[in-house]
Structure 1
Amino acid sequence: MDSVGQISKKSRMICVPIMGESVEQILNAMHQAKSLGADAVEIRLDCIDKLQFEPKRDLKLLIGNKPLPVVVVYRPIWEGGLYKGDEEARLQALFLAKDLGADYIELELKIASDFMKEYKLSQHSGSKIIVSCCVDNLRTLQEDPTHLVAKLQSSGADIIKFVLGAVNITDIAKVFDLYSHCQVPLIAYGTGERGLISQFLSFKYGGIFAYGSIEGNAIPGLPTVDSLRKVYKIENINANTQVFGLISKPVSHSKGPLLHNPTLRHMGYNGIYIPMFVDDLKDFFSVYSSADFLGFSVGIPYKEAVIDFCDEVHPLARSIGAVNTIIRRRNDGKLVGYNTDSEAAISAIEDALKAQGCTKGETLLHEKLFVLVGAGGAGRALAFGAKTKGARVVVFDIDFDRAKSLADAVSGKAFRFEDLVSFEPEKGAILSNATPLGMHPNMDRIPVPKESLKDYELVFDAVYTPRKTRLLKEAEAAGAIIVSGVEMFLRQAAAQFNLFTGLKAPEEFMRGIILEKF
């Protein structure tokens, strides 16, 4: 990391925004940030209780006791901050912070030139000036973002900063593009969950700051410092880093980054796997079309719809009607869709039966009643997998037409979701839950009556957060063999890794991560 006095476009720092309401809270948070591995902190003076804040006293305490380089921000309400008071008093407080030795002070573009001229900042040394601009969203912006960057650069700032209210993940591509138009160090990111990728990929595109929050004081749209350091290890990211990620809505539940990122590093592969909150598949694929974005996992609710955006679809995925993995073929850039869920789930179920000494007919599932709850993408993968093993499939779904369509495709039967209450499975049946029921944080619900669980030989739950769902706990208590969605997750992730990288997935290494982290 470059020193503050040598800040350049090659600098890389993880910065923690601190918005404490008191000086004591801010001081504690600064030390906590340092212990977690932060390189700098950004303190928001406008968040301090205005009745308690006394600039001369409090800035001396904050800056005199800082354990890390500090960015001082005093954001007015007209720029999205909380400060409503006298403008001159605000500017004087910022100048005082500079005088006291703040490493950086942040000025809004609107006032930066006048401020630097009035306070003759060019005659001083030490603190670096960050000139910033916050934009609510691109749709209301009256000018091209690159024009704003030009204005920010012309202010005479040491560092410029562009913050965008991200309405769509595609907005972040415009943020990344700004780096190529900038001759001075740039901080640029999008806020909110749709802007999350701007923190993970900041260093890939040339950013000097990536922001992270402190565990327990989460800030929407920011990863934790701990995850940036330990899961993503973003200090290793460079311009050649290839990007993989989960396309889903929501994405916060995903454990994929916990598994894929350490595995990529273990195999010496320069890649990163990140969550991508996607609202519109068409927009997403039209914008993120570069060779840098090499592969995607596909989650709820897009496993079926995403087929329309693949140039080619593997025959198994085509027959299932659901894709959970997409790769960008290296030789021609085409998107190819696969389904790694089906084999992963069915092999996990069969291996669990084998482990209990079960054998039957041509396959372990031959002629067994396979009760499937949920006819979405994961459900389709399970239904087709069970059918190929000779099982008799029955499908329940809140959308009866969807259940009927899937049941017809696998020569099974369809029932309405509400019929689960009275459905009596035959002894030795297999139950598979392919709905989000029981997923964190709504962990109390199970898709079938508790009393019916005694009739199932095996219960599988595609949900993997938590590792042992309430459904699995109740099934185990009723005497059934249980299979966690974690096992399916591991197997499909290993198959995805093979497709993403062209390497053989280190399955035992991946299993070790799951046992430790999940």
Structure 2
Amino acid sequence: MICLSLTGDTLASWSEELERNRPWVSLVEFRVDLLRPAERNPEQLRRWWRGIAPPLPVVLTIRRSRDGGHWEGDEAQRAFLLEALVDALHPDYVEIDLDRRGAATWDALAMRVRAAGGTVLRSHCEPRETPESPSRIMARLAAEPREIPRLVVRMHSLDDLGAFLAAADEFSLRMPGRRALWIGMGDAGLLTRVFPARLGSSWTYGVDGERVRASCQEPVRKLHEVYRGGEAQRDWHLFAVLGNPVAHSRSPEYHNSRFLADRRRAIYIPLRVSDFSRFPALAEQLNLRGASVTVPHKESALKLASPGNDAALLRRVGAANTLLRGADGTWRAENTDIPGFLDPLEERMTSLEGVRTAVIGAGGTARSVVAALRERTSELHIFNRTVARAAGILEEMELPPSRAYSLADLESWQGAPFDLVVQTTSVGMQEDDPVPGYSFRGTETVYDIIYTPPETPLLARARAAGCRTINGQAMFERQAELQYSLFTGLIDVLEASR
């Protein structure tokens, strides 16, 4: 289920949020702490809610500032307002903090909630870090069987996510069927918010798409349409895109839309991976079936796995953009970047014979580009911040390492002009230009593998100079199509063996 958190500061804005998002949500959270004080009157709220038809189940929340909320009063005032709102609204769920248990006023409030037919969400928030033992905290939260425990933590790494998943798995084994909410904040906690079923969460929270204020907030429409938040189940096949950064990736939209159209029980999520060595353990913990791999992990991906269909080509490239995990847990690597890169280029350039090429960058994608062009173009040069790295790629591809240069060398290039310039670094995502001093002649074809933004500063300069330009969208779509075929092929094999 998806819960819409109403985050406006007036009831009028709440009405607008509800109207825009009602088709995608199953319940709604009243964030009363975010309302202006004049808008918090219980009777006014009751009359407003009675005018909403048909009503949805309500989560009532007045969150303290130390827990990420905006309540500016003291605890006595907060308890008094919650009690009045419970009497006026009869909410289905009321959030009460773990550290309030045992306090007479708050215990009386919990009894009042139950007497009115509601359920207490016993909540604890760690806004700065993931605690050493999430299991112990959740055990305390779940001490009262009539309540729903809710644990929110800040995550900074895959290790944090792994510890949280382990706690959720242990909880499911110890208390099968017990409702709970497991929420991770920050980029590392995204899985907990877009795939709540994996942790056994009863629902996930989202906000109106026009009111996303923080990295831990997901638009409810995206939760519904991209991640199938009201449908996805724990046993669905899980795939991911691995990278750092990864928030820009369109792969979740592409693959999840294909899974939906083909009625596949599968979901695809972004995983921000800063340290690739931590990934294999998490993948096993998640039972991850496959992954798209982006910067800066394509070379590490190949080292993890056995080369797939074209082992010789993969070894020469030294990079993989696709990982597949078989039923026995072994990894297979593939590279769909090469055909993904070539197809759009060959549509724009009728022939690559005799073409002189400048490749900018020396990462995993550059390796794929060089492998794709080495036998198709007459002369290929690599320009990179680290010349030795560029020379290493050329040498491994059995090309002259003397054609490796610095970025500054390209900006002051005095040699024969280039026909094709291929930009493979991620700097365009930061709307930067890797070679701002390079002067285009207007006859080049300029290919930037970045697709967000659609036109990088480099492409904008090239277009203004009269060059033909290609952005990364066509490459993305072609390589993603090939990846999707690999993913669904794996799903078919796994399901046939069940």
Same fold (TM over 0.5): yes
1:171 maps to which of 160, 181, 190: 160
Are residues 76 and 384 of structure 1, via their aligned partners in 2, closer, same or farther at CA, if it must alter by over 3 Å? same
1:425/1:265 CA distance change after superposition, 3 Å = farther
**What is the TM-score when the length of structure 2 is the normalising length?**
0.87
Go from structure 1 to structure 2 and tell me whether the alpha carbon gap of 1:428 and 1:123 turns closer, same or farther (over 3 Å shift). closer
Q: Distance in 2 between matches of 1:336 and 1:321?
A: 14
Residues of 1 paired with 2:243 and 2:432: CA distance? 23
User: Partner amino acid for 2:184?
Assistant: G
Distance in 2 separating the partners of 1:147 and 1:140:
10
CA offset digits 1:277-313 (Å, max 9, x no partner): 1222122221221473111111122122333333556
Question: In 2, distance between residues paired with 1:389 and 1:33?
Answer: 51
Equivalent residue number for residue 74 of structure 2? 86
Cα deviation for residue 111 of structure 1 reads 1.2
Q: Which range is displaced more, 372-381 or 422-431? A: 422-431
Alignment length, in residue pairs?
476
Q: What SS does the aligned partner of 1:273 have?
A: strand
Q: Which residue of 2 aligns with 1:109?
A: 98
Is the aligned partner of 1:130 residue 2:124?
no
Indicate yes or no: 2:460 matched with 1:460. no
Q: What CA distance in whole angstroms lies between the structure 2 residues aligned with 1:238 and 1:318?
A: 37
The Cα of 1:424 is off from its aligned counterpart by 4.7
Q: Deviations over 1:203-229 (max 9, x none)?
A: 244321112221121132232111112
Q: Within 5 A, what are the aligned runs for 1:7-406?
A: 13-34=1-22, 37-50=24-37, 52=38, 54-61=40-47, 63-65=49-51, 67-100=55-88, 101-114=90-103, 115=105, 117-119=107-109, 120-121=111-112, 124-136=115-127, 140-141=131-132, 144-177=133-166, 178=168, 179-180=171-172, 181-182=174-175, 183-218=177-212, 219-290=214-285, 292-310=287-305, 314-330=311-327, 332-354=328-350, 364-406=351-393
Contact 1:131 1:157 in 2 (8 A): no
Displacement of 1:145 in angstroms is 2.0
- The code of the aligned residue for 1:419 comes to D
Instruction: Work out the CA distance in 2 between the residues paired with 1:352 and 1:503.
Output: 33
> How far apart are residue 91 of structure 1 and its match?
1.0
CA distance in 1, matches of 2:30, 2:378: 61
Moved more, 278-287 or 421-430: 421-430
Distance 2:194 2:369 in 1: 33
Deviations 1:38-59 (A, max 9, x none): 2222222223345x46544554
Note if contact 2:7-2:211 (Cα within 8 Å) is conserved in structure 1.
no
Please state how far the C-alpha of 1:109 moved relative to its aligned partner: 1.1
Counterpart selection for 1:436 from 413, 421, 426: 426
CA contact (8 A) 1:326 1:338 kept: yes
Cα distance in 1 for residues equivalent to 2:269 and 2:73: 41
1:220–1:138 CA distance, 2 compared to 1 (3 A): closer
Question: How far apart, in 2, do the equivalents of 1:116 and 1:85 lie?
Answer: 16
Shift of 1:154: 1.6
In the superposition, relative to structure 1, how do residues 248 and 69 fare at CA in structure 2: closer, same or farther (>3 Å)? same
- Give distance in 2, aligned partners of 1:504 and 1:431: 38
CA–CA separation in structure 1 for the residues paired with 2:185 and 2:353: 51
Question: Residues of 2 paired with 1:305 and 1:429: CA distance?
Answer: 32
Q: Is the 8 A contact 1:130 1:157 kept in 2?
A: no
The more displaced of 242-251 and 472-481 is 472-481
* Distance across 1 between alignment mates of 2:102 and 2:378: 73
**Residue 483 of structure 1: how far off its partner (Å):** 2.7
Q: Percent sequence identity over matched residues?
A: 26
Q: Distance in 1 between matches of 2:436 and 2:7?
A: 45
Partner of 2:496: none
Amino acid across the alignment from 1:206? G
Q: Is the 8 A contact 1:322 1:380 kept in 2?
A: yes
The residue type equivalent to 1:45 in the other structure is: V
Cα distance 1:478–1:85, how it changes in 2: closer, same or farther (>3 A)? Answer: closer
Match of 1:415 in 2: 405
